[in-house]
Structure 1
């Protein structure tokens, strides 16, 4: 089971790192401001920093926390929080990473609150992020620290096969059958889209998971948080996870063709690399593949008595099953 942290534990860790705060810790107890599958986010002082405590041992985390720190460090100022420090805690002979980062004020907006103007500002933020480029895709540290990185390519069909290979054995019974019914169409779709993605010769630092719940808005300024999935990859991926024909819950907004085109035009106008039509095809592909993966994850959680799926996430799974199937049928 994922671990939960107490305010006292958080206070003890932060007290051992006064350099994170820049000032002595106030008498008030830290309070938790967020909880995900991999991390809890705590605010030990009103002005920050935000301190993220892993809920699982380092070997069970889906991504290397050092990659997250590297991605935040490479990102242009104002796109995301700045990393401040990191530590590893030993609990019951297991290592739990802790990452301290700049606190970003604001709130997560519901999909209905995202106006066209705000989506255009987000597009400009992503265009700024994607100015950090490399000749091949891969991990942030592996690519950015290479003295002479060789050119490389993305294999979208292999990405989809990897999703299927990972989740198919974990979904028995009716959920597995329903999910398998989507996999064949997804693989055929991926085979058609893959050559266009494979033709990319320049890759960007991407957030990797800019769903709406990973964006904090302060006034009209959206800032990307939770850089767990940052990587060097196709910038169209970041443009896809905002939502579209595939949508679900508070993560992916239901966007019309016109709204998607408006977003992509704003991105290109702000200096984003690519052409609107090509970006559209690629961003839709990444969103569809992610929808398939997230659907499998939600059904896997729902089938495990040791884990509790919320009614909202069960509803999101129904949205994903319906919209992924409809998208593939219309392709």
Structure 2
């Protein structure tokens, strides 16, 4: 949710370059990509992979292709000769500029119910000792493709709602990161879990880093309106009963579709890119999909009736898995919090898009729609 960040030092290989692909192939061949690098960063799961084959020159050969480049990470597909493909995700911002340490992402993956997302394999968050000069995470590959926002149907919404309920069946004690070790919630602070201080600090940081873009595109009034939306429900969020393991960035580009679920007949769905995963308000993941505020490949345009259907399907699916906490059963509060999360998250994305609009044509195209729809939802004339 943090806007555009500075580029990494020029002495490092571009995470999306051909040279990086060659370096990944070399690291796999030498057995350094997923071997234990320190005690808490050893590989966690890799079905069918045995360390004994990694150093061997024949069994260590792998084909490496660029799977995609997102807003923060380059993703590489490593296809070994004798094992299943894996995905190596390399940030193209420095470690200090990431939302959280990569180890927290891997820790969150260890808590996922089966078939929700990728299997965690390895993490190396120290660039000084990394075999590729960057921090990275390694996970299993998830088959499928993201559906463009305009192609989402009611079947997609229903399937996503059910799958999200499965993810949210993992309870959390509050808002905060997942940690490796015996207590995955050791880093979650006890007590009320206020959101407003985080939002105010983020807005201040955006204004410092991107003040010119915010002024040029008239975003200042939208940020103040977004802050007010969060302030209105901060007390509800602080006293929630029923925090969950949340994805944190569950927009359309992080939802993959593959085939048909044989048990339900619904489109098969899984989630990727858990870099924002943590204990959180379930309303956050519901709001990230889209709705009235949309733009670009990330957000699905939805009428209010479609949002209602989506939320009802989610609540129903959660109820089928056990007693509903108040964070879900109070649907009116859930919807109010979704509105606040929409204001916060889309404001962050609007600043990010505005900061890149002068150099990236795709962001320049998205900017007017995202700004217009957010302003309309917040009641700001533009």
TM-score (norm 1): 0.88
SS in structure 2 opposite 1:250? Answer: coil
Deviation, structure 1 residue 199: 2.5
**Corresponding position: 1:192 with 2:226:** no
> 2:59, 2:103 → 1: CA distance?
26
CA separation in 1, counterparts of 2:250 and 2:138? 20
Cα separation, 2, equivalents of 1:208 and 1:148: 17
State the SS of the aligned residue for 1:286. Answer: helix
- Secondary structure, in 3 states, of the residue corresponding to 1:270? helix
Please identify which structure carries the higher helix content. Answer: 1
Per-residue deviation, 1:136: 2.2
Match of 1:254 in 2: 301
Q: Which residue is equivalent to 1:128?
A: 166
Counterparts of 1:136-151 in structure 2, within 5 Å, are: 136-141=174-179, 144-146=183-185, 151=190
Residue 43 of structure 2 corresponds to none
Matched, 1:215 2:252: no
Task: Report deviation, 1:205.
Answer: 0.6
Structure 2: give runs of 5+ residues left out of the alignment.
Answer: 1-6, 9-13, 36-45, 260-266
Q: 1:134–1:144: 8 Å Cα contact kept in structure 2? A: no
Asked if the contact 1:153/1:199 (under 8 Å) is kept, the reply is yes
TM-superposed CA distance for 1:168, in Å, is 0.9
- Shift in CA distance, 191/59, structure 1 to aligned 2, threshold 3 Å: closer
Give the equivalent residue in structure 1 for 2:96. 59
Q: Tell me, in whole angstroms, the C-alpha distance in 1 between the residues paired with 2:365 and 2:185.
A: 44
- Does residue 286 in structure 1 map to residue 341 in structure 2? yes
**Offset of residue 183 of structure 1:** 2.2
Equivalent position SS for 2:135: strand
Q: CA RMSD in A?
A: 2.8
Runs of 4+ in 1 over 4 A off after TM superposition: 18-21, 23-28, 91-95, 146-151
Q: 1:157 aligns with which of 187, 193, 196?
A: 196
Matches of 1:211 and 1:148 in 2, distance apart?
26
Query: For residue 323 of structure 1, what is the aligned residue in structure 2?
Result: 373
Residue by residue over 1:101-130, the C-alpha shift from the partner in whole angstroms, topping out at 9 and shown as x without a partner, is: 111111111012211111111111111111
Structure 1 unaligned regions, length at least 5: none
**How far did residue 60 of structure 1 move?**
3.4
Q: Is the contact between residue 249 and residue 288 of structure 2 (CA under 8 Å) also seen in structure 1?
A: yes
**Secondary structure, counterpart of 1:202 in structure 2:** coil
Alignment equivalent of 2:28, drawn from 14, 18, 23: 14
Question: How big is the shift at 1:147?
Answer: 6.6
User: Larger deviation: 241-250 or 171-180?
Assistant: 171-180
Residue 300 of structure 1 is matched in structure 2 by 355
| 3-state DSSP of counterpart to 1:326 | helix
Contact 1:151–1:201, Cα closer than 8 Å, also in 2: no
The alpha-carbon distance between structure 1 residues 179 and 227, as it changes in their structure 2 partners (threshold 3 A), is same
2:262 aligned residue = none
Residues 216-237 of structure 1: CA deviation (Å, up to 9, x unaligned): 1112111110000011010110
- The 3 A distance-change label for structure 1 pair 115 and 204 is same
1:135 Cα deviation after fit: 2.6
Match of 1:80 in 2: 117
Question: What is the rounded CA distance, in whole Å, between the counterparts of 1:25 and 1:240 in structure 2?
Answer: 45
Which residue of 1 is the match for residue 38 of structure 2?
none
Aligned residues: 325
